[in-house]
Amino acid sequence: MRLFIAITFNQETRKKIHTVQQRLIQRATRVSPVPPEQFHLTLVFLGEIDKQQLSPVKKVIAETDFSPMKLLFDHVGRFQRKSGDIWWLGTAEHDTLNSLRAHLVSQLVQRELLVNKTAFTPHVTLARHVLTEEAVLPCDLLTTGFSTVITSISLIHSANIAGKTTYTEIFRKTP
């Protein structure tokens, strides 16, 4: 099973993220947009894990204490790739979010459920394989930042079904 722990968003927040995404799509000559129902902020990517590890992962999430937190989306960025860039919407520096992620990573590593401790750039992917003819300035895509309140973290199963990526929430933790 291919799994990740993420923050998902309510309809209002997905709508605001979608607005930013639409501005990018209008400026792209090639783009693979993320479907709005799949918008999320990955806290920890677990990758392929065995089904018997599912219960311990759920336990780590269930035992993680956190309070609702306000996230501010305040910038747009991209990861450059030869096949086209990955454009994303980023959050302002947030100590509570960073601490939440660090706690999850620590607990997963301690239980030998995670070995990949990559750097954390909190973001929501807007689109992949993006090519543009003209330079796109991030400030053209996000004219005003916006915030949302996070009230849950989710364990999500990522699967490729008939060539299409699907995400299924299999566990949710609320404060």
d(CA 76, CA 59): 34
Nearest to 59 by CA among 13, 26, 104, 18: 104
Find tokens 């780590």 and name the residue. Answer: 60
Task: Locate 90 and state its tokens.
Answer: 């980023």
Residue 85: CB atoms within 10 Å: 20
CA distances from 107 to 44, 68, 111, 151 (A): 11, 20, 6, 21
Which residues are marked as active site? 40, 123
Q: What is the pairing mode between strands 123-131 and 69-79?
A: unpaired
